[in-house]
Amino acid sequence: MALPDSGKGYLPALKYRWLIPLYDPVIRVAFRESTIKERLVEEAAIKGGQKVLDLGCGTGTLVLLLKRAQPDATVVGIDGDPEVLQIARRKAALSGLEIVLDRGMAYALPYPDESFDVVLTSLVLHHLTREDKARALREVSRVLRPGGSFHAADFGKPQNALMRSLAIVSELLEETKDGVEGRLPEMFRAAGLSGVEETAKFMTPLGTVSLYRARKLSNKKRMNDEPGGWRA
């Protein structure tokens, strides 16, 4: 979940390093982690032989879910925080599953163009400044193969008054405004992604979490693609 940036606005997992050992139980409760990540895996519909990237993999919960769902896929996780990666590596070793775990920056991914069929990210974007979100999303578009899909979970527009009040609280803790004010879909499109769709909303103790999906088209198809709407 924690990724280094250009030197400003970086937040490690749970904001403070001394809280990292509590990361898994806190995220499990505060963000309905199982429900949200299982839905992401379902929507990604990974196929055998595909190469999949979890951007900001944190302690490895999502990469393990992805590998269990499709053992014949190549699953890669990347994160900038060596401490959470150490936890992820321990969990992968205990599971017996073959997972690739890399350390790297969201907006300078160490992978060639068009390397992945699917990219996912869960509760990472709100850790980044607006500038760094834009850079990271351009990197997502770069490493996706034409026809590949992007699936994201992050703070979204509140569903009701209670969720709006919780969003105000969460904004005091981290940079969540782009999500809470509904700007993420336009940021996805600006990065070169098409067919952007909000697929679900979840109420959590810290506010509304939205799920999004989008795809990368070839340049020719992108010119003819209408904004919004998902076409399989």
**Nearest Cα to Cα of residue 79 among 92, 60, 98:** 60
For residue 134, tell me if it sits in a domain.
yes
Instruction: Give the E-state strand segments of 99-176 in sequence order.
Output: 100-103, 116-122, 144-155
Residue 114 within a domain: yes
pLDDT digits (tens, 9 = 90+) for 34-63: 789 999 999 999 999 999 999 999 999 999
| pLDDT(98) > 50 | yes
- Residue 138 covered by a domain: yes
Q: What whole-number percentage of the chain has pLDDT above 70?
A: 73
> Tokens 């250009």 sit at which residue?
6
Domain contains 128: yes
On whether the CB atoms of residues 27 and 38 are closer than 8 A, the answer is no
What pLDDT is attached to residue 224? 53
Can you say whether the dihedral through the CA atoms of 123, 127, 129, 134 is positive or negative? negative
pLDDT value at 3 more than 90: no
232: helix, coil or strand? coil
Structure token digits, residue 37: 């990540």
Q: pLDDT for 180-230, tens place per residue?
A: 888 999 999 999 999 999 999 988 777 789 999 999 997 655 545 545 454
The mean predicted confidence, pLDDT, of the chain is: 82
φ/ψ of 152, rounded to 5, equals -135, 145
pTM of the model: 0.81
Over residues 153-180, mean pLDDT? 66
Q: Which of 208, 199, 202 is nearest to 170 (CA)?
A: 208
- Domain CATH number, residue 171: 3.40.50.150
Task: State mean pLDDT over 104-115.
Answer: 95
- For residue 226, is it within any domain? no
Residue 173 belongs to domain spanning: 17-220
Position 161 scores a pLDDT of: 52
Quick check: is 147 in a domain? yes
Torsion of CA 93, 97, 100, 104, to 10 degrees: -60
Backbone region of residue 186 per phi and psi (left: phi > 0; alpha: psi in -120 to 50; beta: other values): alpha
In a domain, 230, yes or no: no
More confident residue, 173 or 139: 139
How sure is the predictor about 174, in pLDDT bands with cuts at 50, 70 and 90? low
pLDDT greater than 50 at residue 19 = no
CA atoms within 13 A on the CB side of 227: 7
Q: Is residue 206 part of a domain?
A: yes
Note the maximum CA span of the chain.
50
Total tally of structural domains belonging to the chain: 1
